[in-house]
Amino acid sequence: MSTPAVHKDPVLRIAKRDGLPHWKGWLIRVAAVVLALILSGAFIYAITRLNPVQVYEAMFEGAFGSSRRSWVTIRDAMMLLCIGIGLAPAFKMKFWNIGAEGQILVGGCMTAGLMLALGGTVPTPVLLVIMAIASLCAGAVWGMIPAVFKARWGTNETLFTLMMNYVAIQITSYCVALWENPYGSNVVGVINQSTKDGWFPELFGQAYGLNVLIVAVLTVGMYIYLKSSKQGYEIAVVGESQNTARYAGIRLSKVFIRTMAISGAICGLAGFIAVAGASHTISTSTAGGRGFTAIIVAWLAQFNTFVMVLISFLLVFLQKGAIQIASQFKLNDFASNVITGIILFCIIGSEFFIQYKLIFRGRKEAHHT
């Protein structure tokens, strides 16, 4: 007589949490940062025998060691934040916009072209407005193209937006060859260096003050748009369930196209800020990979633009700090990048434990009757 098979639960199961209080979520995040610092410290000591505290001090010095370094950190954080704000509505809708790099480049090309064409012919304030509008329109069109194809023919937006990046890179390469200065250098050089036509003016006595003001307005505006507007509600419903959105009478095609126009426009505006407010030139590296890094910003912040501010500063701080410790302690780039990777891994990993819980065999889940 055969005995019935005994079913055993797995040793470890993963279950989605029903909900976690905000304070517990932030406690997990803080614990992740502390763990990251401990692991990074152990790695630093193992390979260099240096005091980890000295290395962390050097990282802070690299990001905020002088007034100029502080403002460069602020400038780069604002750029990253601007792109993250642009990606937020698309990702909240679960439209995977991987094309921010291309949207930045087309916005930057429009800005650079107008600086060259209209510099010296119209006042700088007027030129700035024209360039801002042109970059917004260019980015919006670049974002709408994959949205239209998604709405009409159901194309894969991830691949489509990614391929649009390569098209934008080729357009930028053509513009660089067209505008190169000096001839044959294959670089545009600093545009309007002597006259500064089309450059951001100083605000509050700071060269990057206008960068901060523009992005601050976008931060507040996007927060209100996503949280309090009818269109923000539609984005949230589409992101939760497209079927529910259809039953609610929401036209998916309209939401796709409108949201991607907004997403692309803000990323195009980031190109305007990069060219007119920072580098004053255009190249295929103007976006500098920030279109991909900003995905981390938007995702970790759960599309809350105020939380994005903290994450943008953290990522830029890690980047500047890694450069500083690599030069100060004669570490190669790989070692400094490992430290950055450990910290990011722990922070991103904390989001897993906020969303899910581990259940070991013999431990019962709590059921509410």
Range with lowest mean pLDDT among 100-109, 130-139, 174-183: 174-183
**pLDDT for residue 344:** 84
The pLDDT of residue 239 is: 95
pLDDT value at position 333? 67
Q: Residue range 233-254: average pLDDT?
A: 94
What pLDDT was estimated at residue 83?
98
Q: Look at residue 204 in the predicted model and tell me its pLDDT.
A: 83
Quick check: helix, strand or coil at residue 115? helix
pLDDT tier at 367 (50, 70, 90 boundaries)?
very low
Q: Is the pLDDT of residue 361 over 70?
A: no
Q: CA–CA separation, 127 vs 111, rounded Å?
A: 10
> Tokens at residue 223, please?
């927060």
pLDDT, position 4: 58
Residue with tokens 């329109």: 137
| Residue 108: CB atoms within 10 Å | 30
Listed range (6-15, 44-53, 212-221, 250-259) with the worst mean pLDDT: 6-15
What's the rounded mean pLDDT across residues 53-80? 92
Token readout for 286 is 């103007």
Is pLDDT above 70 for 266? Answer: yes
- Round to whole Å and give the CA distance between 353 and 346: 11
> Which bin fits 280, alpha (ψ -120 to 50), beta or left (φ > 0)?
left
The per-residue pLDDT for range 112-126, each reduced to its tens digit, is 999 999 998 999 999
Q: Is 14 or 39 the better-scoring residue by pLDDT? A: 39
Q: Which amino acid is at 187?
A: V
The whole-number average pLDDT for the span 282-293 is 94
Q: Which has more confidence, 321 or 99?
A: 99
Tell me the domains of the chain and their CATH numbers: 19-50+330-363 (no CATH), 76-328 (1.10.3470)
The yes-or-no verdict on residue 150 having pLDDT over 90 is: yes
**Percent of the chain with pLDDT strictly greater than 70:** 95
Which pLDDT score, from 0 to 100, does residue 33 have?
85
pLDDT at residue 9, rounded to an integer: 65
Give the pLDDT of residue 318: 87
Q: If you average pLDDT over residues 36-43, what whole number do you get?
A: 87
Would you say residue 152 has pLDDT above 90?
Answer: yes
Candidate from 32-36, 273-277, 332-336 with smallest mean pLDDT: 332-336
- In the predicted model, what is the mean pLDDT of residues 5-29? 76
Residue 110 reports pLDDT greater than 80: yes
d(CA 264, CA 86): 7
| Nearest-5° Cα angle at 147, 84 to 265 | 40
Average pLDDT, the chain: 90
Residue 362's pLDDT is 62
* C-alpha distances out from residue 12 to 283, 343, 356, Å: 50, 26, 13
Q: In the prediction, which pLDDT does 3 show? A: 57
- For the segment 305-309, the average pLDDT, to the nearest whole number, is 95
To the nearest 5 percent, what fractions of the chain are helix, strand and coil? 70, 5, 25
pLDDT of residue 368: 44
Average pLDDT score over residue span 157-184: 94
What per-residue confidence (pLDDT) applies to 119? 92
Task: Write down the pLDDT at residue 232.
Answer: 96
pLDDT in tens, 126-136: 999 999 999 99
Rounded Cα distance between 122 and 119, Å, is: 7
